Structure 1
Amino acid sequence: MTRSGQPVYIESVPVDDERRRDDWVGQLGVGLNLSPDFLGAGAQEYSLRADIRLNYKDTFFLENNKIGAVLTSRRFLRAGVIARVQDGRRADLSRAGIAPADAVDDALELGIFAGTSVYKLFLSGEAYWGVSGVHGGMSLEFEAGYLFELNSSFKLVPLIGISIGSPDYMDAYFGVGPNHASLAAYKPSGGIYELHAELSAEHRIAKNWLLKGSLRASKLKDKAYASPFARDSRAQARAFLGVVWLF
């Protein structure tokens, strides 16, 4: 699961005064989601997905599979702690030829984040460490984007990003053990494993309602794509289209 558009800890800063009068500010939405069966899969799956972004007193936030707290808030810097549930690889993906033994559980990860916004340009970085036993590695994610407000009801956010994993992280999601029944052993080293570009859009259709969509294209880098679990597709695509209620 990935976000679309600005991170919630940056998006919450310019919220209009009428909504900011309440302690809770956010978005609740639902829509149709398209994503790979797992990172590197050639098969895609469609699902009905919730889109949740909540912010309490501009300090605590929830963003889909992420939860965190802003510990430092300055004019050009917001930083704090964050946790997420990272999607694994399910055992029932028969279309992709994945055996039950090749499944990877969802992982609980704890981390830190930092983000800055200068006018409508934003930069963010997040670092995570696995704490649930799925992996003991570390991953880094960096994004840069720009908010285009074309008029009072329509916004576009193009962004680019990069994902980096430590050797333990890469081994958990892309590695193959030495005693695998049918696949050759593969132990990737750490490094960049994915690059992505995204375009998200919001159209306000009523005072507190948005039509929201996003399209993300990504490319697996060599260390990840060389894995037997990822050779179906170096290119990955994700899309979302839904309706969102603002409060």
Structure 2
Amino acid sequence: MGIYISLAEETAEKLKNMILAEEIYKPGEKLPNESNLASLLNVSRTSIREAVKILIAGNILEIKRGVGTFVKENPGLASNLFDMIYLNDKKQDLKDSLDLRLILEPAMIKATIDFATEEELESIFYYEKLCREACLSGEPYKELDTKFHKALATASHNKIFEQLTPLLHQSITIIHNSIKDKKIIDSFTENAVIYHKKITECIKERDYAGAELYSRIHVYNALKNINLI
């Protein structure tokens, strides 16, 4: 298996360094436009666009509609308590993220069973269905996968779980962006199809033990698929 830093991630690291270390762009300052940044960093405008998204997720940049892209007033200080840190060692980053999910997700899903409203349950079931259909039809499903897990976190009614979710689910982005082996990709897809559905069925039945078991198996399989255990 090969895990590598994508060009967009590399570009994001360079831009982040220009902001946080070199202080070329200071808090509250507007960045050059997309074309100028692409020329400056010798990458495509697409890479700049993706890098900006990464740094927005990391609470370093923000977009002001109709005005441009700006450095946050407190760049890198996460308003949700946790900084989206993109480590140089992506394999270790991935393992750390999945290990934390093994510990935390069963507790989060238990809280979801206890506190989810009917509307929140419908959102969970909706995104599970869309994600499963995308997987089975061979369509990209990363965004739907992320929305499914976000719906679970929201329904837990625990702000810390909600705040942790973007950090923990770096693993989804890393997996989708970095793994090219078709057999491994197929294994991840099958894992999502089977265990998302089992987890939602347990939530419907208020089956704490089943939900905990399947959430652990789901993450354990991810670790196993990429030889991290």
The TM-score, its normalising length taken from structure 1, stands at: 0.26
Higher helix share: 2
The TM-score, its normalising length taken from structure 2, stands at: 0.27
